[in-house]
Structure formats: C-alpha cells, structure tokens
Amino acid sequence: MAMAATVSSSGITSCAFSRSVISSEPKVSQIGSLKLLDRVSVTTPMPLNLSGKRSSVKPLNAEPKRNDSMVPLAATMVAQVAEEVVETEDFAELAKKLENASPLQIMDKALEMFGNDIAIAFSGAEDVALIEYAHLTGRPYRVFSLDTGRLNPETYRFFDAVETHYGIRIEYMFPDSVEVQGLVRSKGLFSFYEDGHQECCRVRKVRPLRRALKGLRAWITGQRKDQSPGTRSEIPVVQVDPVFEGLDGGAGSLVKWNPVANVEGSHVWSFLRTMDVPVNTLHAAGYVSIGCEPCTRAVFPGQHEREGRWWWEDAKAKECGLHKGNIKENANVNGESKPIVEDIFKSENLVALSRQGIDNLVKLENRKEPWIVVLYAPWCPFCQAMEASYDELADKLAGSGVKVAKFRADGEQKEFAKQELQLGSFPTILVFPKNSTGPIKYPSEKRDVDSLTSFLNLVRNRKTSRHFHENREIKQEPFHLVPDC
C-alpha cells in the first residue's frame, strides 16, 4: 500500500470549514446491506492551490512530541499507564456501540473525534470507498498512501483520477532509498520469491508507514473481516492500534478505525458502482486485492481475493506487516499465547544472546564496553512496534563501542528473565554500563532511537547495582551521543 495525507477541499478555508447541508433529494437509502444516510450535498469545492503553497495541515511524518524527562517520576508513570488502560477500554466499548453502525456513521464518528489528526490509508484498490464515505460526511479529511516504487502503472493512473475526482492531493510516503538499495544489491530484485515477502515489505511499506503514523493520532483502513479469514476475521470497527505508535508515542498512542470491517466485498462494490466513483482498471482484469506488481496477480472465479497476493506463500502469512496485529494466536504447551510469526530485530549489527550469553553478561563485573539489550517475544505487538527503531539503533551505534543485543525471553526463558533480568512485560530494555555489576532498566514507554540514545547517555560511566534506578535519581544531562556509557 502507499502512504500520504491530504485535506478535502470541500468547503474548507484556512480558518474555517463550511459544513455541508443535507440535500432535499434523498439518494440511495440502502445499497445491499450497507445502510446509508441521505446523501450529503457538499458545498462547491474550492479550487486547488497549485502555486506550491502548502496548507496548514501537519505532515504525516511530523516529529512527534516528546517528554523532555527521560526518567519520569513513578507517580507520572503510573498515571500514564492508567490513562492507557482507560483509553483501551473506552475504544473497546465504542467498538461494541458501533458494531451495527453503517460505514458512513463510523467514518463520521472517526472524523468528528480526531479532526486533522486522522488520515485515510488509501491502497489504490477499493479503499476509494473510504474516501467517498469521508466526502459524504461533509467534514474535512486527509488521505495517505505508501508508494513502494513497485506499483502497477494502472494504480498510479488511478491515484491521479481519485485526486481529480475529489479535488484532493494525496501525500505519498516513500521507502528509504539507502535501505532499498542495500536490499536489492545484496539479494536481488525478486528475493521475496525465495525467502518470503516480509523483508521487502518491511523496507518498502512497514517502515514508511511507521514514519507516517508518527504524525497522526488515528488512521482509517479498508480492512474487512471477509478479506482474509485467517488473519482478519475478528477485526473490530475501532481499536487501539496493537502495533504502531502515534503522535504522542508509546503504547496506546494510535487508534485504528476499520469502517467497512463488517461489510462484504460484494456490497462494497455495489456501493462503488452506485456512487459512480473512479476504480482501478486492474479490477476489470481479475485483480481483486491489489498490492505491488510482482506480488499481485489476478484470481479466477471462485478463488478468494487474497489468493492473488503472495500466492507462493501459506495463507496464514498473507499480511505484509501493516496489520500485524491481526495475526491470530495459538496456545502453546505452557498456556502462553503465541501467534505464528517470524523472529524480529534483524539488523546485522545486532547481537542475538543465548541464555548462557546473557547470564555471562549479568555476572560480568568489569565490562570493557556497555551493552543495551531488549528482552522480547516476537509475537508481542509492542515488540513488533519497536522493531524498526531498535534495528536503526543497532545500525547507528555500529562501531561506536556500544553493543546492541536482543534476548528472547518468552517460553521457557520467561521465569529466568523475571527473576534475574527484571522482566515485567514485553519489551523490557536493559542497559549494562561498563564497570558495573548489574543492568539498569529503561523506564520509559518511548522507544524511538533518540529516546534510547538519550538514556544511554544518562547512565554512562556510572557504577551501579542492579537496582540502581530504584533507589537513586539519575540526573538529566545534555544530549549528545557518547557511546562510552
């Protein structure tokens, strides 16, 4: 999918928005099982400003707000946790209330609640229905898309048609050119046919999406329960995003809306035909679910739509990483929930510690170099959410004298990690300063590169016991990367 944001020009000015009025002529009260409000007549759109001047809308990749204090007081941390729990419960309750609402009603509620801090994720397929619903509400809205660089020509022409039809500008997010270059030079253009699509999707889609969502508090997707019975059959119409972080950072900082979660694909298409909106011409050629050109093909009548995506892989693997939270969990022999997912944190500059390795690290009293270690479980959505930032940290500190490592602490290692490594929840991040007898536990929910490197600086050159952070204040020091912590 591709990524960007825009504001509908329907009745919008730089300082006020002219709300739509209800047309006296009712249109399309019901299409299939989609319950629609009477169509809203939107005021005449203002002409697009093509002079190059930007609107006042915050870019999707805006720098998130950060708390200057890297070590918040215990009371503050408790309050933050409590707030996150309440927020999660509130949206779970809201999802129940909206379970039988129409997509238009759900879209209207989403735009009403989040205003300019929410954007529609547009993939170039039937997600155009989301834009039509947003248009019908009469509210201003934003649209984003991820341009992976490997989309079909028909998809690019479709983007242009959508912009013209709605009088909007889609803001695209692109993958990092250095990462793409490294992947292609080392593994070739089509390595995903041999070792799976996850690595390519991580570079071309997931990381650009992560950057984009950092500028939002909520996003709107076109996920439906019938799209993929293996991974999407239980998605709610609204949820706290289990994988990605939003503008404020930390777990629970982003809300995910799925207005068409309960709608069947055939009814979405009835809606699109009735409203006479642009559609991707690939659909007429048998393409139902559309992604990147090398990984998408047409399906035959009777085949499920997702069979045209990553057709060489098992059906349970058919998520690109944008919706990792959908992956169902299976209970293991210890009763612990684990989904079927691959391992995470794959930077070449990252050390994978065994049980013996981390045990030796804990017992070592005079380390010659500092270490930062994440205790993780690959199935944990919060661990998955910090994958890109932790890999980036490892690459940034390569050759600096700081060792960046990971230790898988679930399953049979969990009890050991609880007793010896201060594991409370996943992920737990520990810093092992040199010349010390024990680790210092990272106390913040912010797991971006800047926050982690700031904490490394805070604890540099301090002789400490294992529970140093519990009984002695760490004073804030000016930030600049000094690897010798």
Phi, psi of 218 (to 5 degrees): -160, 155
- Residue 163, classified by CB atoms within 10 Å of its CB into exposed (0-12), middle (13-18) or buried (19+), is middle
Q: Evaluate whether 321 touches 336 at the Cβ level (below 8 Å).
A: no
Of 200, 201, 380, 485, which one is the catalytic site residue? Answer: 380
Q: Evaluate whether 419 touches 445 at the Cβ level (below 8 Å).
A: no
Of 201, 292, 295, 383, which one is the catalytic site residue? Answer: 383
Q: Which residues contact 380 (CB under 8 A, 6 or more apart)?
A: 410, 426, 427
- Residue 364, classified by CB atoms within 10 Å of its CB into exposed (0-12), middle (13-18) or buried (19+), is middle
* 201 three-class SS: helix
The residue to which tokens 């979405």 are assigned: 268
Q: Evaluate whether 32 touches 181 at the Cβ level (below 8 Å).
A: no
Does 383 qualify as catalytic in the annotation? yes
Phi, psi of 243 (to 5 degrees): -120, -50
Helix axis angle, 449-458 relative to 387-396, nearest 10°?
50
Phi, psi of 374 (to 5 degrees): -100, 130
Residues tagged active-site: 380, 383
